[in-house]
Each structure stands twice: as C-alpha cells, then as structure tokens.
Structure 1
C-alpha cells in the first residue's frame, strides 16, 4: 500500500516537485561546500539531511509514479519519464554518500582533553 492520492490529486504530481527542486539544490550545496570549507562549516549537518531528504523522496516518488503509470495512457513520453525516474535512485544515493562524507570531514573536531594535572596535585608554579 503506497501513497497514491492526496486530496484527489495523484501523489506523484506533488512528490515529483520535491525531487525536482531538492535534488539540484542538494547537488549545488554539495559543490559549494566542497569548494568553500567555510560554507561547509556553516551548513553543518544540514547538507547530509538535505541529501537524505532527496534519497527518501526518490523511491516514494517512483512508487507513486508507478501507480500513476497504470492509470494514464502509456505512450513513449510516459515510458521515457518512468525510465528517467528509475535511474535516479543511484544518483540520489551517491549524492547522500558524498554529502555525508563532506560533512564528516568538515565536522568540528572534539575538544582536546585538558592537560594532565601536576604530579603533586597542586598548582604548578614556574
């Protein structure tokens, strides 16, 4: 049982807009964060979260599209559209993996441990 209709509209029509907008946006953000480390620092975990949203949206949109494909006249454009949708998942996965890797490399390092206390236990004087 999938997501087929939303308020009488085929869900694919609504979900495809999420993918069409967020996939290029996530790819552009990945490029910018890779080229400009200070931007990546500001993005923080938003970059992999954005890519994860794309990754989750693609199969949902594809599933809704398969339902819609069975309810419309099947022509060459519909078949081509379905082929393009089926080929998008590996790209979305690669986008997520790369975005996560960029975030992982650029994440703030843990604070260094405090220096060990002096052997005598008291303050060190020089």
Structure 2
C-alpha cells in the first residue's frame, strides 16, 4: 500500500501496520535482504546497542545490510512493534511531601554536607586569602 499527502490517517496507519508486520517478519527470520528491501536506499539506521552492542550509525542500505549480515542471526530479534507509551509524563503527587518538594530550592547541599555559604560562593579551606 502506498500513501501520500492526500492519504487519510486511517490509510497511513494501515500502510504503516503492513510495513511493520513485513519488517518484523524479516527481522525475526534474520533475513537481511528482505529487511533492507523494506528500507529506502538513502535511509539511516541507528543501532543503539540492539544488534551490535555499539552505538553505530549506518547510512544507506549497503551499510545497513553489512550490519544485518553480521549481527542479525545472533540477535534473534522478536516482538518488533511500535511503542508509544514513553516520554515525560506529569504525575501528580499527593500530600505534604509533594508540597515540600515543590517549594524546596533546587540547589541545596546534600544531607550532612553543611549549609551553603552566605555569599553564595564556596569556601575553600586552606587556600591563600580564603577561610
């Protein structure tokens, strides 16, 4: 299924679901050729410790095919899916502890480290001209 700028949101979702199913099947089968056939020739692949235990960036299907040929079989990829439940979220906290944290200054010394100097500058013990 091909989509373009005139495609409806449902058509786009259906096309992506079909592509993702094909991609998942190719990855699970450790088929580097089938996987790269699903990618644009000018695409980028960022391997964030998934296949190679490296933070590699690969440009173009030839370089990506090399990565897949070398690591896909051993990786045993499964359960490929899109995850949308991520990112920052607001979580309301209840009670006095939450109000206390909200009103506390963001920069304060660690427990047991003493107080900040009144001038706002750190004091260096033993340095000439400082106490």
In proportion to residue count, which structure has more strand? Answer: 2
Bigger-Rg structure (1/2): 2
> TM exceeds 0.5?
no
TM-score range, shorter chain: under 0.3
In proportion to residue count, which structure has more helix? Answer: 1
Q: TM-score, normalised by structure 2?
A: 0.24
Q: TM-score, normalised by structure 1?
A: 0.24
